[in-house]
Amino acid sequence: MKIVEVGPRDGLQNEKQVISTEDKLAYIELLIGAGHKRIEAVSFARPDRVPQMADAEAVMSGVQRIDGVSYIGLVMNERGLDRALATKVDEANIVIVATETFSNRNQNMTIAESLKGLEAMVSRAKAEGLQVTTTIGASFGCPFEGEVATSQVTSIAKAATEMGVDEIAIADTIGVGTPKDVRRIVTAVKEVTSLPLRLHLHNTRNTGYANAFAGYEAGVISFDSSSGGIGGCPFAPAATGNIATEDLTYLFERSGIEVGLDFARLTEAAQFITEKLGIVTPALLGRAGWFPAPEHTR
Ligand code: MG
């Protein structure tokens, strides 16, 4: 299984404390040092709506370009894609939301309109050599509509597959899912696509890690997480963020599933960014330590 580090994007974007470009670059460097190969580094959202991501261009022009390390930019619309292409991200992660109300609030479009937009964006991004992921937001529950029908998710997955995307990500944007939901949704999505699947989980209700493991057992191969578990949620102000990279790494590695990240350096990256944010990390591994302790910390 592979971890996509989303700390610099989803982790930071809902944190109030604005992090300087220089610190973001130092953070990304630490993440690469820990062994990360795919990093969601920026979002091309409107700077007035997501001020933390306003320096996306500066971040992308400052990152180290290393063979085998891929930088992902989150894209909501054509203007975002223009910026993504100009900054030379390696991958575009284009979001489609699974419910009409959320789609309208988030992107000011119906689902049909956003799928039409997706088709145009996918062909442009692919023509420019980018890898493209479609993330299906609010797949497990909507902050406005509540329950989300499985068919809402599968119809978007099917449409995106036909448009030629490279990967489908299923997002529990507000952190309401359970392992049973993961099995139901992943199984249904696998019936409509043979593309690699990625899960984007939040630990809002403490089900994130159980959900990740259920996803792995159901055939998902990539998981989004943020170091330290940073990242709030705009719809649940008191909520914790993404599942934490170091805790997820522990869960998988101790289960005999190779992740390929360095625990000590992961916690170093988490410590760096949580100090800059002035928060205590929701992640637990940095406090408890690995078991058994790895050689270099003995
Ligand atoms: Mg998220």
Measured from the Cβ of residue 284, the count of other Cβ atoms closer than 10 Å reads 13
In total, the chain counts a number of residues equal to: 298
- CA angle, 154 then 218 then 13, to 5°: 70
| Ligand 1 centroid distance, CA of 264 (Å) | 25
Determine the Cα angle at 195 with ends 189 and 199, to 5°. 60
Task: Determine the pLDDT at residue 239.
Answer: 64
How many of the other CB atoms lie within 10 Å of CB of 146?
Answer: 10
Question: With the CA atoms of 51, 55, 57 and 58 taken in that order, what torsion angle do they form, in degrees rounded to the nearest 10?
Answer: 180
**Domain range enclosing 7:** 2-297
Active site members = 233
CATH number at residue 197: 3.20.20.70
CA–CA separation, 166 vs 195, rounded Å?
Answer: 7
Tell me the pLDDT tens digit for each residue of 91-125.
999 999 999 999 999 889 999 999 999 999 999 99
- Residue range 243-270, pLDDT digits in tens: 999 999 999 999 999 999 999 999 999 9
Distance between CA 126 and CA 118 in Å, rounded?
12
Task: Examine residue 292 and say whether the peptide bond preceding it is cis (omega within 30 degrees of 0).
Answer: yes
Residue range 2-53, pLDDT digits in tens? 999 999 999 999 888 899 999 999 999 999 999 999 999 999 999 998 999 9
* 228 alpha carbon – ligand 1 mean position (Å): 14
Residues 6+ away with beta carbon under 8 Å from 81: 44, 75, 92, 94, 121, 124, 125
- 198, exposed or middle or buried, with CB in 10 Å at 0-12, 13-18, 19+? buried
Q: How many domains does the chain have?
A: 1
Q: Quick check: 297 and 290 in contact, CB under 8 A?
A: yes
Least confident of 71-75, 82-86, 211-215, 277-281: 277-281
Whether pLDDT at 298 is above 70: no
* Alpha helical stretches, state H, 232-291: 245-253, 263-277, 285-288
pLDDT in tens, 209-232: 999 999 999 999 999 999 999 987
pLDDT tier at 235, thresholds 50, 70, 90 = low
Centre of ligand 1 from the C-alpha of residue 287, in Å: 24
What distance in angstroms lies between residue 233's CA and the mean position of ligand 1's atoms? 7
Output b/e per residue, 82-106; b: 16+ Cβ within 10 A.
ebbbebebbbbbbbbbbbbebbbeb
Q: How far is the CA of 244 from the centre of ligand 1 (A)?
A: 12
SS3 134: strand
Strand partners, 167: 133
Cα–Cα dist 124/226, whole Å: 29
d(CA 200, ligand 1 centre) in Å: 7
Please tell me the distance between residue 173's alpha carbon and the centre of ligand 1 in angstroms. Answer: 5
Radius of gyration of the chain (CA): 18
pLDDT the model gives residue 295: 64
Model's pTM, two decimal places?
0.96
Phi, psi of 23 (to 5 degrees): -70, -35
Cα separation, 203 vs 221, in Å, equals 19
pLDDT over 90 for what percent of the chain? 89
Q: What phi, psi does 85 have (nearest 5°)? A: -70, -35
Report the separation in Å between the CA atom of 164 and the middle of ligand 1, taken as the mean of its atom positions.
Answer: 24
Neighbours of ion ligand 1 (CB under 5 A): 10
Could you identify the residue written with the tokens 């497990």? 140
Q: 224 alpha carbon to ligand 1 midpoint, in Å?
A: 9
